[in-house]
Amino acid sequence: MKEIILAKCGELVLKGLNRISFEKTLIKNIKLALSPLGEFKVSVVQSTIYIDKDGGIDDIEEAYERVKRVFGIAALSRAAVCEKDMDAIRETALAYAREKLESARSFKVMSKRSDKRFAYNSPQICSDIGAYLLKNISGLYVDVHNPDVVVTVEVRDFAAYIHCGSDSGAGGMPYGSSGKACLLLSGGIDSPVAGYMMAKRGLKLSAVHFLSPPYTGELAKQKVLSLAEKLSDYCPGMELYLVHFTKIQEQIKNNCREELFTVIMRRFMIRLADIAADLSGAGALVTGESLGQVASQTLGALSITDELSRHIVLRPLIGMDKEEIISISRKIDTFETSVLPYEDCCTVFTPRHPKTRPVLSEIINEENKLDIDTLVKNASDMITVIKI
Ligand code: ATP
Ligand code: MG
């Protein structure tokens, strides 16, 4: 029995004239996600995506899991394919649904007939296939309101499809359909979630990470690499820019007032993230900041870092509680890695009493004690890129 994957386009169906270009991006992304399993045929007809492979999909479970992670898909199901002929549909429905029906008590058949030339209409298909399944599997009854199993028969242009239930897709917009942004990726819980959320809205991501050897070690770097790798399940082809931050942090510590250290450091991060964004062709920055979470995420501190950036700074977690963020990080499987206990460059020089209401003029006074341009230039000259 031939089995394929059927999926439903998500929000992009609301697009007008440029829907075709969103669909093209989605098709490309599905093919890319499936590329380790071979070359797939993917097409979209009236918001339904057909995912098939010459000779059949041999590893359909793995293929299905991969398609589940592709943004732009509202729902998906595995489906058996057969000829548009009632005998073939009966036999295929019985063979395909048998295992599920044998362990169920109730069921119903649903039908969609987009090929209006097919001789049976939807109610006729439902009652015919329902009766056939009842006759061939004992102990079953029909429950149209609350069935254990729903068998769906779809009669479409080129074939009939039978499936037994669907799963939610990843939702959102096709990855890369909304432009590109550079994610400030730390080793913490928040920033991978922030990246996931913006990728879900169609932004292609690059990432920048600041490290401070020897204060931060090899394990901290490996942790960020594995977070980037986990994110790349959703964000294929991500580049990670590594910035050595030690010199800058030492200079701030040695020259500036301790309670302003964090805000000044974050302003350097923004200057360098702007450069990483330029290098990767990104038009925005993304951070994992959430209002009030720590001293550097008060409204005052955020405005002072914001005013410096040459790019718009997107903060998808700004209104979220930690618990909400953690539940997404578990869902995307970054949580366990994020909580590994390695030092981040931010925690190396944390002031004892960071100022929660910094004043811009005060910050600028302190920064003027440093040779900002040279520090930024030296750090940016040493940026290294890793293709994830
Ligand atoms: P996270 O859990 O993402 O580390 P956090 O709650 O620890 O966030 P901060 O350390 O204040 O918060 O960092 C706020 C944001 O700044 C992070 O979400 C991330 O986007 C960015 N950031 C912090 N440290 C780094 C770093 N070493 N490299 C890149 N970006 C960083
Ligand atoms: Mg952090």
Q: How close is the Cα of 347 to the center of ligand 2, in Å?
A: 8
The answer to whether 272 and 243 have CB atoms below 8 angstroms apart is yes
Question: Residues of the chain whose pLDDT is less than 50?
Answer: none
Q: How close is the Cα of 146 to the center of ligand 2, in Å?
A: 47
* Residue 185 Cβ contacting ligand 1 at under 6 Å: yes
Query: 5 pairs with which residues across the strands?
Result: 51, 78
* Residue 198 Cβ contacting ligand 1 at under 6 Å: no
Specify the pLDDT at position 352.
Answer: 82
Neighbours of ion ligand 2 (CB under 5 A): 186, 188, 344
Specify the pLDDT at position 190.
Answer: 97
* Residue 190 Cβ contacting ligand 1 at under 6 Å: yes
* Residue 186 Cβ contacting ligand 1 at under 6 Å: yes
Q: How close is the Cα of 182 to the center of ligand 1, in Å?
A: 13
Instruction: Please identify, by atom number, the ligand 1 atom nearest to the C-alpha of residue 208.
Output: 29
CA atoms within 13 A on the CB side of 310: 13
Instruction: For residues 105 and 107, give the distance between their C-alpha atoms in angstroms, rounded to a whole number.
Output: 7
Q: How close is the Cα of 118 to the center of ligand 2, in Å?
A: 60
Encode 18-35: b = buried (16+ Cβ within 10 Å), e = exposed. eeeebbebbbebbeebbe
Specify the pLDDT at position 342.
Answer: 80
